[in-house]
Amino acid sequence: MATLRAPGGPGGAGESGQVTPVGGPGGGLYLPPPGAGVSGARSVRRMTRAIRSNGKASVGTGMLALFCLVALFPGVIAHDNPSAEIYGRALGPSAQHLLGTTAFGQDIFAQVIYGTRPVLLIALGVGLSATVIAMLIGVAAAYLGGAWDGVLSLITDVLLVIPAFPLLIVIASYLHGASTAVLIAVVTAVSWSYTARQLRAQALSLRNRDFLEAARVRGERSLYIILVEIIPTMTSLLMASFLTNALYAVLFSSGLQFIGLGNPNTVSWGTMLYWAENNEAFQTGQALWIIVPGLCIVALGAAFALLNYAFDEIGNPALRPVKSMRRKRVLPR
Amino acid sequence: MRFVLRRLGFFVLTLWAALTLNFALPRLMPGSPALAIIANHRGALSPSALKVVEAQFGIGHQNIVLQYFSYLGNVARLRFGESLTTQPGVSVGHIVLDAIPWTLGLVGLTTVLAFILGTLIGIVGAWRRGGWLDSIMPPIFVIMTVIPYFWIGLILILVFGVKLHWLPYFFTYDITLTPGFNLAFIGNVLEHAILPAFTLLITTIGTWILTMRNTMITTLAEDYVRMARAKGLPGRRIMLDYAARNAILPNLTGFAMSLGFVVGGAILIELVFNYEGVGWLLLQAVNNDDYPLEQALFLLITAAVLVAILLSDVATAILDPRTRGAR
């Protein structure tokens, strides 16, 4: 993987020195040679260095950290009760109500701040649970092989091609007002399949490698081999899976809530959009009621996407941005 | 041939899975909400429609295996029953057929347009690596792909509809006009399609650009491209005939797939603009608890995706012989 060269001019971008090197050869997030036994502390240090030297990764991490803080301590930032319908209706922005009030007389700023927690919970919950399910099913299919592989892969493939969002809508329509926990479960159920397929492919490519054979000869149990030998080689794939699933969870759940299939009494960005749209917020001059929750969804989604993109670049140097190829090309070699 | 047969087998299996899901979901849900609502409306249904709905949602006293097989039989004969609430008493097939052309026109044309534009931008971006297009496009479109479609639609409505009054943003056409093949009506339909189409275009084009750019970058590193350069071929020829031609395969298969998502891919955009296509209809059915209509639409959306995947598999096999042996 380290020999992958950036295309374009002779010399390749990787050696040009204009690209911030990510920790030198082997120092980036390249998959370590399987079985090399990278210690936990060192890989965390590498990860930190990689994140800090990649602009996209730093921005993404910063944004995500900010959202986490807001979700943990909403009361510190917003002092109003987000659900209380106690203020004047449809007020414009003012010092008391930074973003104005809703058509029901709730403080929009407080709603945005308190709405962070459910969205973040759904994103992290789905990212984590979808990745774990995908890991179990994907690795089990590859490792067990034979009929097990056939059945598990078939389930994965079938779920993969059934369109996820319509399926979500149909499931949610029977539930009549899905709470945050239910949303996590439902979104996870429709979205783990893509990762499972990727992880199965990765695990398959490892199946006949010597370090696994060595573990088998040593007499290790299957569970030990899967957990200690196979899964650590998939760190970057698992990371990508977590980020992608978290991103889709934000979009899917907000979409469902916007349609009105979430629990309309939860304060979250999607339900805010639902109530705003139903009260014709644009026509009544309450544009901020729609603009701000939407911007928050975009920002949170962007944080996950930037991180994902950055990890891609760290793992595949050919995709890193190239500063001035054209000047390089005319240089004599 | 074996390849095609295997894919066909998978197609049938998945369709069966979707049908079974449709059958199982209303029975698995806590409190069986579908039962109560359908029981309320059973008087409004014609006897034949009642039979169809009974089998699907398990109202009658038949045992579940019999219900399952009569449900499968009904679907095979395209009998989906009648709408309960959206257009009470009208056959579901009828309602769906009315909505399909709108979605095909709006989403279909926009998908084709996004594919062509996105692929071209991707080619040029990768070819001029480090140029302004290459440095601006990817970050912008990474951001664009994380914006919820419906929210972009809402913002466009705010700017071009509510504030500037440039374009209509509600309904498929002006309801005061009588539909017909005359210039005024067609113009009106096009005018109503601009905002939703533009929303769809800017949100979907990013994927095409990024995929094309990234594959193209890999292709540009190949030795045959270097060889073409060494031969002194004109840049445009290397870009299109050598690099792009080999890099376009992922985009082409992606395009075949995305055609399947035309039917159900713009549900929220149709909702925001009240565009009376398949997605809008699905949400109407959901809001009105019109379960027979909802289930038929879900099947239609799934079937469209399955057909497109089948086509894309076959197309890949024809275009790239290397894939035929692979799984």
* Of A173, A261, A283, Cβ closest to residue B162: A283
A3-17, A163-177, B78-92, B125-139: the lowest-pLDDT one: A3-17
A295-309, B45-59, B279-293: the lowest-pLDDT one: B45-59
Q: A3: which residues sit within 8 A by CB, 6+ positions away?
A: none
Residue of B nearest to A247 (CA): B146
What is the DSSP code string of A50-118? HHHH-HHHHHHHHHHHHHHHHHH-HHHH--S-SS---S-TT----SSSTT-B-TTS-BHHHHHHHTHHH
Pick the CATH number of A55-317 from 3.40.50.1110, 3.40.50.12780, 3.30.1490.20, 1.10.3720.10: 1.10.3720.10
For residue A88 the two structure tokens come to 């004047």
Q: Which of residues 177-216 of A touch B (CB under 8 A)?
A: none
pLDDT at residue A32, rounded to an integer: 41
More confident position, B166 or B65: B65
- The reply to whether residue A166 touches residue B29, judged by beta carbons under 8 angstroms, is no
* Of B10, B130, B222, Cβ closest to residue A157: B10
pLDDT in tens, B230-264: 988 888 888 888 888 888 888 888 888 888 888 87
pLDDT in tens, B195-234: 888 888 888 888 888 888 888 888 888 899 888 889 888 8
Whole-number Å distance between alpha carbons of A208 and A210: 6
pLDDT at residue A117, rounded to an integer: 92
Give chain A positions within 8 Å (CB) of B155. 290-291, 294
- The reply to whether residue B294 touches residue A302, judged by beta carbons under 8 angstroms, is no
Provide the mean pLDDT of chain B: 82
pLDDT at residue A192, rounded to an integer: 92
Query: Is the pLDDT at B276 greater than 80, yes or no?
Result: yes
B-interface mutation test, from A174, A251, A258, A312, most B Cβ less than 10 A away: A174
Please, what's the largest Cα pairwise distance for chain A? 74
A-interface mutation test, from B20, B22, B146, most A Cβ less than 10 A away: B146
Amino acid at A290: I
pLDDT at residue B33, rounded to an integer: 67
pLDDT at residue A325, rounded to an integer: 44
pLDDT at residue A8, rounded to an integer: 31
Give chain B positions within 8 Å (CB) of A316. none
Give chain A positions within 8 Å (CB) of B10. 157
Give chain B positions within 8 Å (CB) of A273. 150-151, 154
Distance from CA of B181 to the nearest CA of A (A): 33
Q: Cβ of A5 under 8 Å from any chain B Cβ?
A: yes
Whole-number Å distance between alpha carbons of B86 and B109: 28
Whole-number Å distance between alpha carbons of B239 and B259: 27
Q: Cβ of A246 under 8 Å from any chain B Cβ?
A: no
pLDDT at residue A326, rounded to an integer: 44
pLDDT at residue A324, rounded to an integer: 41
Other CB atoms within 10 A of residue A52 CB: 12
Buried-state track B217-243, b at ≥16 Cβ within 10 A, e below 16:
bbbbbeeebeebeeeeeeeeebbeebb
Whole-number Å distance between alpha carbons of B286 and B96: 14
Tens digit of pLDDT at every position of chain A (333 positions): 333 333 333 333 332 333 333 333 333 333 444 444 445 567 677 767 777 777 778 888 899 999 999 888 888 887 777 777 777 776 777 777 777 777 777 888 888 889 999 999 999 999 999 999 999 899 888 888 889 888 998 899 888 888 888 999 988 888 877 888 889 999 999 999 988 988 898 888 887 788 888 888 888 888 888 888 888 888 888 888 999 999 999 999 999 999 888 888 888 998 888 988 888 777 777 788 888 899 999 999 989 988 888 887 776 666 666 544 444 444 443
pLDDT at residue A318, rounded to an integer: 64
DSSP 8-state assignment for residue A268: S
pLDDT at residue B112, rounded to an integer: 93
A22-36, A204-218, B1-15, B86-100: the lowest-pLDDT one: A22-36
* Of A163, A261, A324, Cβ closest to residue B305: A163
pLDDT at residue B133, rounded to an integer: 79
* Interface predicted TM-score of the whole assembly (ipTM), two decimals: 0.84
- The reply to whether residue A298 touches residue B147, judged by beta carbons under 8 angstroms, is yes
Q: Which of residues 139-168 of A touch B (CB under 8 A)?
A: 154, 157-158, 161-163, 165-167
- The reply to whether residue A158 touches residue B135, judged by beta carbons under 8 angstroms, is no
Give chain B positions within 8 Å (CB) of A8. 129-130, 217, 220-221
* Of B33, B261, B297, Cβ closest to residue A174: B33
Give chain B positions within 8 Å (CB) of A163. 261, 264-265, 301-302, 305
pLDDT at residue A227, rounded to an integer: 83
Whole-number Å distance between alpha carbons of B215 and B243: 9
B95 touches B293 (CB < 8 A): yes
- The reply to whether residue A251 touches residue B162, judged by beta carbons under 8 angstroms, is no
Domain spans of chain A? Answer: 55-317
Give chain A positions within 8 Å (CB) of B131. 326
Q: pTM of this prediction? A: 0.80
pLDDT at residue A43, rounded to an integer: 67
Query: Is the pLDDT at B310 greater than 60, yes or no?
Result: yes
pLDDT in tens, B143-159: 777 888 888 888 888 88
A118-122, B65-69, B179-183, B322-326: the lowest-pLDDT one: B322-326
pLDDT at residue A243, rounded to an integer: 92
- The reply to whether residue B130 touches residue A247, judged by beta carbons under 8 angstroms, is no
